[in-house]
């Protein structure tokens, strides 16, 4: 392991059966703090999204075989936006999307599941609170 990984335990949101907890699968090798949220459908984790402040990594994971893709949508406090897609189907790993962001900024993210790259969001979490990009 490259260093100590600190996870932030997040609160829960009861609307639409969405649970947000601080668990990370693949980002465990990252240094710094990693924030993760889960999107639950019918009592099971359908998707996971994370942000790791060390290296500006955004992660998306699809955990439910339902034909939809998992997407982590993100936006910064300085106007930049993006999406990290897991279109591989249900797996137990996360897709790592590496970005170069302003270290003095903050980022928020949410997890959605949708039909295709530009399809309608079927389910989504609320936006995570803004967290620092540059640790």
Closest by CA position to 73, among listed 98, 102, 46, 49: 49
Tens digits of residue pLDDT in 51-100 = 999 999 999 999 999 999 999 999 999 999 999 999 999 998 999 999 99
> Domain-by-domain residue ranges, the chain?
5-132
Backbone angles phi, psi at 129, to 5 degrees: -60, 150
pTM confidence score? 0.79
Alpha carbon distance 90, 23 (integer Å)? 17
CATH number of 5-132: 2.60.40
Q: What is the pLDDT of residues 89-131, one digit of tens each?
A: 999 899 999 999 999 999 999 999 999 999 999 999 999 999 9
Q: How many other CB atoms sit within 10 Å of the CB of residue 105?
A: 16
d(CA 68, CA 129): 26
């Amino acid at each position: 392991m490259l260093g100590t990984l600190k996870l932030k335990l997040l609160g829960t949101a009861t609307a639409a059966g969405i649970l947000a907890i601080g668990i990370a699968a693949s980002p465990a090798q990252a240094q710094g703090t990693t924030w993760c949220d889960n999107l639950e459908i019918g009592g099971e984790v359908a998707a996971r999204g994370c942000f790791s402040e060390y290296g500006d990594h955004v992660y998306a994971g699809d955990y439910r075989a339902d034909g939809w893709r998992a997407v982590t949508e993100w936006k910064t406090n300085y106007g930049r936006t993006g999406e990290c897609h897991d279109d591989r189907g249900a797996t137990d790993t996360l897709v790592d999307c590496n970005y170069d962001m302003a270290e003095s900024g903050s980022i928020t993210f949410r997890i959605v599941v949708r039909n295709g790259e530009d399809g309608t969001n079927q389910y989504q979490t609320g936006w995570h609170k803004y967290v620092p990009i540059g640790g």
